[in-house]
Amino acid sequence: MRTLSIIKADTGGWVGHSSVHPDQEAAAGRELRRAIESGLVDDAHVASCGDDLALIMSHRHGADAQVVHSFAWDVFRRTSAVADELGLHGGTRDDVVGAGRKRAGPHPAGADRAATDGADSDGADSDGVQSDGAESDGVRSHGVESHDVEPDDVTPDGELRGPGLGYAELEIGEERPSEPVLCFLTDQAQPGAWNYPLFRTFADPFTSSGLVVDPAMREGFVFEVYDLQENTAVELACPAETYDLLLYVGVPSRYVIHCVRSAATGVVAAATSTQRLSLIAGRSAGQDDPVMIVRAESGLPSVGEVLEPFAFPYSVAGGLRGAHRAPLMPVGLDDAHPTRSDGPPRVVCLGFQLTDGELIGPRDMFADPSFDRARSRAVEVMDYYRHHGPFEPHRLAPDPLRTTTTPAPDGRLASRWVPLTAADVRTPEALRKARQAREQAAQDHRAPGRPTEKEVSGP
Ligand code: MG
């Protein structure tokens, strides 16, 4: 059993939210090399998009393996320490480092232990493979189940969850002779950002002609969708339930595609991360910046069909302060550093051939001039959105799932709002009462010593 994991965290930005500092990537790279040498993982690669650092790992521990997640946690503690030394910008490193400071000494299942104990440590099965409760569908990622996590409850203890942390994992039962895998990273985007491209690749024959001409794809794909508000999940099979699927995934602020399977074989073709950081942290904790893994070819959509939806810079929630809507710009790794209004949101794709556990690559899949027009259009759309300033649709409508997009719950202002009904506006008496109520509220909350409007204007 082969597992591919992307585990990412925002452990401090350089400068502001725009990028990861090279010293952070170097620190993570050192830990990954140690993990490879110790046998903890078969291969690994460190990458970044914006201020998010991602660990891409091939291993045999299964999804949700404690030994892998604890290792990642420890790596992020180290990159957070680098951020501390350099005084890098916020993100969620305070949570990661803070949790680490609560413990005495290094994390018991961290990199130090991993480097010496190797793959057989920490409850591994007799064959050295630890499934650690992995679901039979081969995909697990933290999402709705983490909503009740409190800010002080972010220590892993076998589970990688907490503000700034996210992961997608895909179990590959049997490696095919050719195993192309695409690892997508974002910055300044929310979890539902994958709904649009996943639908187009796996359900839209105008994007993926393989759905029509490849007999292996003719039965279509099954989408597992999470309702982030109700903490529920549903499976919908396409093409039979295409319209039902669109009913939900067209609202990516609430419904998020968790994974996609082949209807014919059950093979998991795509897995996403589904964190809602604001809820996980119990407060605003930055961007969700989801990641995704997609397998391609040989009964699955081709690499080109997986990438094609990104030729349209579709609109995503996220952007500046996580409170805006903006186009998602596909870029090469060298351009994955959003600066203009902390945007536009970026997506990068690292392509690998997975061969005997080795990640052959990466290829920088969006470093292709055929995506130039998407980038140009993204800039135009960003101009359009930016001119709206604090108005919708650039500014996100209030979202009950997030705290960053709703008006501040200012008690002073809240008390000045008075009920207004149709009956109120029809009667002079109701209008007089409402005016009196507003004046009284203004007097109650005016600053000491500050004259009232009546005092200023005179009798
Ligand atoms: Mg970010």
**How far, in Å, is the centroid of ligand 1 from the Cα of 430?**
50
User: What does the radius of gyration of the chain's CA atoms come to, in whole angstroms?
Assistant: 24
Q: What is the pLDDT of residue 425?
A: 62
Q: Which residue has the higher pLDDT, 94 or 347?
A: 347
Q: Which residue has the higher pLDDT, 457 or 240?
A: 240
Q: What is the pLDDT of residue 251?
A: 95
**How far, in Å, is the centroid of ligand 1 from the Cα of 289?**
6
- Report DSSP state, residue 339: -
Report how far apart the first and last C-alpha atoms of the chain are (Å, whole number). Answer: 85
Q: Identify the weakest region by mean pLDDT among 71-75, 122-126, 382-386.
A: 122-126
Kindly state the average pLDDT of the residues 189-195.
Answer: 93
- The torsion angles phi and psi of 26, rounded to 5 degrees, stand at -65, -40
**How far, in Å, is the centroid of ligand 1 from the Cα of 287?**
5
Distance CA 214, CA 204 (A): 14
**How far, in Å, is the centroid of ligand 1 from the Cα of 145?**
22
**How far, in Å, is the centroid of ligand 1 from the Cα of 337?**
10
> Are 34 and 188 within 8 A, CB to CB?
no
**How far, in Å, is the centroid of ligand 1 from the Cα of 213?**
39
Q: Which residue has the higher pLDDT, 132 or 320?
A: 320
> Are 11 and 96 within 8 A, CB to CB?
yes
Q: What is the pLDDT of residue 230?
A: 85
**Tens of pLDDT, residues 117-147:** 333 333 333 333 333 333 333 333 332 222 2
Kindly state the average pLDDT of the residues 30-40.
Answer: 98
> Are 44 and 36 within 8 A, CB to CB?
yes
Could you count the other beta carbons within 10 Å of the beta carbon of residue 68?
31
**How far, in Å, is the centroid of ligand 1 from the Cα of 236?**
31
Distance CA 209, CA 193 (A): 23
Q: Give the tokens for residue 160.
A: 């990688």
**How far, in Å, is the centroid of ligand 1 from the Cα of 10?**
6
**How far, in Å, is the centroid of ligand 1 from the Cα of 21?**
13
pTM for the structure as a whole: 0.79
- Which residue blocks in 123-276 are alpha helix, DSSP H? 195-203, 210-213, 242-249
Q: What is the pLDDT of residue 124?
A: 33
- Banded model confidence at residue 449, pLDDT cuts 50, 70, 90: low
Q: Which residue has the higher pLDDT, 204 or 397?
A: 204
Distance CA 218, CA 124 (A): 39
- Report DSSP state, residue 398: P
Distance CA 191, CA 274 (A): 5
Q: What is the pLDDT of residue 300?
A: 97
Q: What is the pLDDT of residue 162?
A: 52
Kindly state the average pLDDT of the residues 403-407.
Answer: 50
- The torsion angles phi and psi of 186, rounded to 5 degrees, stand at -125, 165
Question: How far, in whole angstroms, is CA 153 from its chain's centroid?
Answer: 20
**How far, in Å, is the centroid of ligand 1 from the Cα of 319?**
9
Kindly state the average pLDDT of the residues 433-457.
Answer: 66
**How far, in Å, is the centroid of ligand 1 from the Cα of 126?**
39
